[in-house]
Structure 1
Amino acid sequence: MSVPAPRQTSSYAVVALVAGILGWTLLPFLGSLAAIIFGHMGRAEIRRSNGQLDGDGLAVTGLVLGWLSVAMWVLMVVVFIVFFGGLAWIAALNS
């Protein structure tokens, strides 16, 4: 009787999770982009492995953290532009 080999975790999925966490802490924008890229690569690798690799949850978590961080950055840029654009508009009206 042979014992089945334990499934390995996708390295890309682990990198996606770590990059997603870094995207919220030490490397705000670059970590988020890396999380998105490696998350997609990890999920593709897991799908192609025919059940030999684990880690889809890690990859999805990295993707979610990455996309949420990017969304927050985009929202902050829009708020910044609207706020200072509004100030410039008010200043133009008063002069």
Structure 2
Amino acid sequence: MSIPAPRQTSTLAVIALVAGILGWTLLPFLGSLGGIIFGHMARGEIRRSHGQLDGDGLAVTGLVLGWINVGLWIVGIIAFIMFFGGLAWLAAVNS
């Protein structure tokens, strides 16, 4: 009876998770982009490995952290533009 070899965790999936976490801590925008890019690369690598690689959950977590952070950045930028655009409009109307 042979024991099957344990599956190896995808390095790209680990990098995606670390980048996604860095996107929320030390590298706000770049880490998020890294989490998204490496997460997609890791999921493709895991699918192509036909069961030899593990770590899909790590890759998905990196993707989710990255996309949520990018979405919040976009909402923040839109709010910033609308706020200061409104102030400029008020200044123009009251002049």
**1:53 aligned partner:** 53
Q: Which amino acid aligns with 2:73?
A: W
What are the residue-to-residue correspondences of 1:23-42 with 2, within 5 Å? 23-42=23-42
For residues 40-85 of structure 1, give each alpha carbon's deviation from its aligned partner in whole angstroms, at most 9, with x where no partner exists: 0000000000000000000000000000000000000000000000
The separation in 2 between residues aligned to 1:24 and 1:72, in whole angstroms, is 11
> What is the distance in 2 between the residues matched to 1:38 and 1:87?
40
Q: Which runs of 5+ in 2 are unaligned?
A: none
Unaligned runs of 5+ in 1: none
Shift of 1:3: 1.4
Cα distance in 2, alignment partners of residues 63 and 18 from structure 1:
11
Aligned length: 95
1:8 equivalent in structure 2: 8
Please tell me the root mean square deviation across aligned C-alpha atoms, in Å: 0.4
The 3-state SS of whatever aligns with 1:64 is helix
1:87 positional shift = 0.1
Q: Shift of residue 92 of structure 1? A: 0.3
